[in-house]
Amino acid sequence: MLAMMLEAPHPVDENPLAPTQVPIPEPGPGQIRVKVGACGVCHTDLHTVEGELDLPLLPITPGHQVVGRVDELGAGCRRFRTGDRVGLAWLYRTCGQCEFCRRGDENLCERAEFTGLHAHGGYAPYTIVDEDFAYRLPEGFGDLEAAPLLCAGIIGYRSYRLSNVRPGRRLGLYGFGAAAHILIQIAVHQGVEVYVFTRGPGHQDLARDLGAAWVGRAEDDPPQKLDSAIIFAPAGAMVPEALRVLKPGGTLALGGIYMSPTPPLDYQKHLWHERVIRSVANLTRADGRGLLDLAARIPVRTEVQTYPYLEANRALQDLKHGRVNGAAVLVFD
């Protein structure tokens, strides 16, 4: 099969992914092989390809928002049958034994492995995963629409919970890409007033269309102070901007795996009055199940921009340069 593989990190504008002939993987005990139908393109993929994350495995096939059909079962598999539709997400495997796994915080597992980083991901026609880390997908979503839910949706949902926002209160979203355009629908559905900070006119229009109460840029002053905020853009400069419009006692959640350096913070201006900053690390399988159930009940509408999987470099370039409105998704014949 032809997989889009990264031999060594380079700026995405240099087309670092190359179509590479590799064997179709064989599932081991407890694993399933998935014939990929769609794979979302994520900012984490961009950080991987450009070397902003440590890369434990090279060459590597990125991609961790995978939708497909079970193609082959490894020995001992019981959860799925051949032909079942499944989703694969960022969390590939955990140890199940460390203190974090034992207390239910598997997102912090000391030996966690991640799809498209420690193991080959979904920028290829076939991939494998431990069946315990695959998700059953709601029937109401097609493959293209389901793909962004598997990282953008789940990490947005976890960020939302950790932001401590409540119905009737105000939430700021900084950056309006794949995660934010899913999350705003959850927040509005639950009676949260959403303020969106984003530069692109297309992103601003989409935010209004999805129910934003106000739309502006990060440096703008919203008409009201915020109870909570989430930064999805990997820009540390947004941290003081978000804190300055946060109410006393408010929480700022940082929803990315990578962020550029944060400017110095003024304690009196940005932090005093019990304002809280917290990072959001990875996700748990419970987060995934919770998001998929909620997205089906609302139902969430995902906006997707599609690319043939062999054009993954172009998809990443468009993502980096703000040319994707909603989520980018690779498609497979």
Whether 292 and 147 share a structural domain: yes
Are 101 and 250 within one domain? no
- Supply the CATH number for residue 246's domain: 3.40.50.720
Residues 115, 188 within the same domain: no
Report the distance separating Cα 137 and Cα 289, nearest Å. Answer: 9
The DSSP symbol for 57 reads: S
Q: Are residues 36 and 144 in the same domain?
A: yes
- Do 235 and 297 fall into the same domain? no
- pTM, entire model: 0.94
Domain final position from 258, 279, 300:
279
Check residue 123 and give its pLDDT.
Answer: 98
**Per-residue three-class SS string for 165-220:** CCCCCEEEEECCCHHHHHHHHHHHHCCCEEEEECCCHHHHHHHHHCCCCEEECCCC
Same domain (yes/no): 134, 187? no
Same domain, 91 and 31: yes
Buried-exposed string 249-272: b where 16+ CB fall within 10 A, e elsewhere: ebbbbbbbbebeeeeeeeeeebbe
Alpha carbons 186 and 106: distance in angstroms, whole number: 24
pLDDT at position 240 is 97
- On whether both 127 and 164 belong to a single domain, the answer is no
pLDDT along the chain (333 residues), means of 10: 98 98 98 98 96 97 98 97 98 97 96 98 98 96 97 97 97 97 98 97 96 96 97 96 97 95 95 97 96 97 97 98 96 90
Count helices and strands in the chain by DSSP H and E runs: 9, 17
Same domain for 228 and 307, yes or no, is no
Q: Is residue 147 located within the same domain as residue 290?
A: yes
Residues 111 and 222 in one domain: no
Give the model's pLDDT for residue 333.
Answer: 77
Q: CA 156, CA 40: separation in Å to the nearest integer?
A: 15
Q: How far apart are CA 89 and CA 292, in angstroms?
A: 12
The upper half-sphere exposure of residue 39, i.e. CA atoms within 13 Å in the direction of its Cβ, equals: 34
Range(s) of the domain holding residue 262: 154-279
CATH number at residue 324: 3.90.180.10
Pairing, β 226-231 against β 170-174: parallel
Q: How many folded domains does the chain comprise?
A: 2
Query: Do residue 107 and residue 188 come from a single domain?
Result: no
- C-alpha 253/C-alpha 162 separation (Å) is 7
